[in-house]
Amino acid sequence: MDVTTDANAPWLIVGLGNPGPEYAMNRHNVGFMVADLLAGRIGGKFKRAGKAQAQVVEGRIGPPGPANRRVILAKPMSFMNLSGGPVNALKDFYKVPVANIVAVHDELDIDYGTLRLKLGGGDNGHNGLKSMTKAMGADYHRVRFGIGRPPGRMQVADFVLKDFSSAERKELDYFVDRAADAVECLVIEGLERAQSSYNS
């Protein structure tokens, strides 16, 4: 189901994570990694967004013509569990319909590197999604990046705030690149096409 209220409305692509160098390579920060890669692709650098507690890059993706889309890439600087406030402020400032918002985030219940795209749904215990849904409802798109479950008895909170393992890092660049491709496909060609190409 593709729900877009205005074909000319911009898209807000939100990479979820925690600000600060100590969190940069955490599993929980894979949304930031994808946002950084997308920013590089459109030739932009993240800058503080006015009064919103976020960093943003504005640009366009897609081929010239009707498929070209205006996008705002965003990284909330509020810590994960408070992401909803900055995202909601950006939504209002840039006049983005909720259906044109894409959250890119880590997902425990999917194997490492696997992608799943969807529109709406629950938060599955993810604090960033929980905060976004509380702020503006659940009808935004999600690009879910699988990180797998914690090994043994490790607590979920410890697992997501650890860096990717050395074995995982060997494939991380490839998976982040693929997630960025999936975001572009979603925005340019719609959810169904992106799901058929990238859901696994």
Give catalytic residues, as residue numbers.
28
Residue 31, helix vs strand vs coil: helix
Residue 144, helix vs strand vs coil: strand
For 104, residues 6+ apart whose C-beta sits below 8 A from its C-beta are 13, 14, 15, 16, 30, 31, 34, 35, 142, 143, 145, 179, 183
Closest listed residue to residue 105, CA positions, set 135, 137, 70, 140 = 140
Strand partners, 102: 13, 141
Widest CA span in the chain:
52
How many angstroms separate the CA atoms of 156 and 70, rounded? 36
- Beta pairing, strands 69-76 & 11-15: parallel
Residue 52 DSSP label: S
